Amino acid sequence: MTRGNSAGFGVHGDVVDADPGRLHDQCQLNVTALVDLTRAYLPGMTGRGRGVIINLASLSAFLPLPHMAAYAATKAFVLSFTDALWVETRHSGVRVLALCPGPTDTAFHAATGSDDGSFGRHRSPEQVVDTAFRAMERDVSRVVDGRLNTVSSLLARLLPHRVTLALGERSMRPTGSARAAEPPRRPLSQ
């Protein structure tokens, strides 16, 4: 039995301007529903000694994203949760994977309200699925889809935090945004 937790959506724009209900729904679906579904199916899988859980995280799980702050935070949760679950299930026969695609050629970006190309080059859904299947053969806790996305995820961890914030802001800035594009001027706590 394979279960993929891939339902989710993103709210594009600044938190101050966002509909509170949409933000709440996004967190409920991207975090709470994923945990609830995992908990619902995991006992049966561990009882049988086999199964696969693939949780759809995102490249955005690796860094804060201004203009998609809550979305990136939910995906960071998915990545952390899945890494821990991978360890918890190591000897149960159940395989667990966090799949971290970058921009993918789906309706996701149009649904966020910003299908304007600001997300960069898109990969195909077939490429993302192939990446997941190859990762399942290697029994790893996480995989980033695509070379450029893999490099981006590594840079997000290696570059100074202020630089990653500035890059994230630039990549997610809504077209025609009047908001300041500067990174914070005071030191950020870790």
Q: What are 61-91's pLDDT values in tens digits? A: 998 899 999 999 999 999 999 999 999 999 9
How does pLDDT run across 119-162, given as a tens digit for each residue? 557 788 899 999 999 999 998 999 999 899 899 899 989 999 99
* Sign of the dihedral through C-alpha 26, 185, 118, 158: negative
Asked if the model's pLDDT at residue 101 lies above 70, the reply is yes
The least confident of 32-36, 92-96, 175-179 is 175-179
Residues of the chain above pLDDT 90, percent: 61
**pLDDT band with cut points at 50, 70 and 90 for residue 111:** very low
CB within 8 Å of 177: residues ≥ 6 apart? 67
In degrees and rounded to multiples of 5, residue 44 shows phi and psi of -65, -40
- Tokens 């609830």 correspond to 36
Say how far apart CA 79 and CA 89 lie, in whole Å. Answer: 15
CA distance 80 to 93: 21
As a whole number of angstroms, the distance between CA 94 and CA 137 comes to 13
Residue 110, pLDDT score: 47
* Domains contained in the chain, CATH given: 2-172 (3.40.50.720)
For 30, phi then psi, to 5°, come to -70, -25
- Using the predicted structure, report yes or no on whether residue 107 has a pLDDT greater than 60: no
